[in-house]
Amino acid sequence: MKIIVTGGGTGGHIYPALAIAKGLQEVYKDCHILYVGTKKGLEANIVPKTEFNYQFITVEGLPRRLNLQSLKSGIKLMRGLGQSFKIISAFKPNAIVSTGGYVAGPVGWVGSQMGVPLLIHEQNSYPGITNKLLASKAKRICLTFEDSKKYFKDKSKLRVTGLPIRSEILNACKQSCYERLGLDTKKKTVLITGGSRGAQSINNAIIQAIPKMIKMAEAQFIFITGEMGYENIIEILKKQGINTDVMGNITIKPYMYNMEDALGAADLVIGRAGATFIAEITALGIPAILVPYPYATENHQEHNARSLVKNGAAVIIKDTDLTGEKLFRELYTLLGDSKKLASMKKASRDLGKPDALNQIINAFMEVIK
């Protein structure tokens, strides 16, 4: 079995692609995976550190308006199409798996024209432009959100599989997570994170809310600032007369390598609405206060968040409306309403797809048949 896996630009495309690739290797013991990305994308740093072979093509996103950059991008696209043809001709794959990003366009399109079966996976509630363009060429389209169905014409291709996430997160034991993090089992735990790089608007709102959060004796907080914002936040709090070493119920960290422990312990999360984060919290059934990143492509994070809100698993605060007062009010209301929190927890778990990887592998088997 020879399989080309492609997807790039952001971790949201790359990590699901790698999870699928590893899953395929476990099912097909004599499986050769070739990952095709770009030379400059994030995948160029991540994939070569894995066990997968890596080749790149030259391509970049096309500007929305016609200008000189459009011509340059068009030339690169033509080169990318030619490079894709050479790679596919040499490797002779049995199938291609695409998780989106502009690199996937030439690879998926050329492969389908050459008769190679194509499976695509869409991470977000509102599909990316590459996957929408490839949809007519794909044999199967795996979706993370039920809401995505309306954007695709041929419903017979669609499979709502969810998004594959790490086994360490799926297997998290709440009691063990509490012990490893030194948390109080009698208190509700709130995880606050803006992602690995942090989110300035969320950080600013939490700084404003911390004087009130310190007084919430029934709750404990894990606040992950992102490495770039950590020192500044500690300095601001010190100027406010808050000693971060003795806050008691609030732990502030720049980054957490054992994120599975923080998620495993959480009774409520505050964060962005990226597809991977949502897949993780719904797999564990964690209620959420979501603040979608306002500059995400096609505003897909708000679409992701709305999908949870509609099903009763989350509340949303738009980035432009976010203040410390508003965030604390939502936080205080939810933590004080056990019935509401329990209802949101059930709704979140009902949306979760912990078996996503197996479902994607099943769809792949349909493709190669």
pLDDT in tens, 11-63: 889 999 999 999 999 999 899 999 999 998 889 999 999 999 999 999 876 55
Two tokens, residue 25: 């290797």
- Rounded CA gap, 225 and 199, in Å? 7
Residue with the two structure tokens 């400059």:
40
| CATH number for position 67 | 3.40.50.2000
Which amino acid is it at 138? Answer: A
Contact between residue 266 and residue 285 where contact means Cβ atoms under 8 Å apart: no
Considering the domain architecture, whether residues 148 and 189 belong to the same structural domain is answered as no
User: Residue 280 is encoded by which pair of tokens?
Assistant: 């993780």
Q: What is the pLDDT of residue 245?
A: 74
Describe the strand order of the beta sheet including 140-143 as a list of residue ranges.
53-57, 32-38, 2-6, 95-98, 118-122, 140-143, 158-160
Check whether residue 122 and residue 188 sit in a common domain. no
Ranked by mean pLDDT, the top range of 57-66, 227-236, 291-300, 356-365 is 356-365
C-alpha 198/C-alpha 202 separation (Å) is: 8
Q: Give me the pLDDT at residue 257, please.
A: 85
Compute the mean pLDDT over every residue in the chain, rounded to the nearest whole number: 93
**Do residues 10 and 132 both lie within one domain?**
yes
Same domain, 79 and 159: yes
State how far the Cα of 99 lies from the Cα of 187, in Å rounded to an integer: 39
Both 156 and 188 in one domain: the answer is no
3-state secondary structure 246-268: CCCCEEEECCCCCHHHHHHHCCE
- pLDDT(368) > 70: yes
pLDDT band at 137 (very low <50, low <70, confident <90, very high): very high
Does one domain contain both 118 and 42? yes
| φ, ψ dihedrals at 85, nearest 5° | -60, -45
Which 8-state DSSP code applies to residue 354?
A: T
The stretch 207-213 carries a mean pLDDT of 95
Q: Answer yes or no: do 16 and 154 share one domain.
A: yes
Q: What is the DSSP string of 95-140?
A: EEEE--STTHHHHHHHHHHTT--EEEEE-SSS--HHHHHHTTT-SE
Domain span holding position 287? 168-351
Return the pLDDT at 112: 97
- CA gyration radius for the chain? 22
Residues 133 and 279 grouped into a single domain: no
181/118 same-domain check = no
Q: How far apart are CA 227 and CA 254, in angstroms?
A: 5
Q: Which two tokens stand for residue 52?
A: 């997968």
- pLDDT mean over 142-162: 96
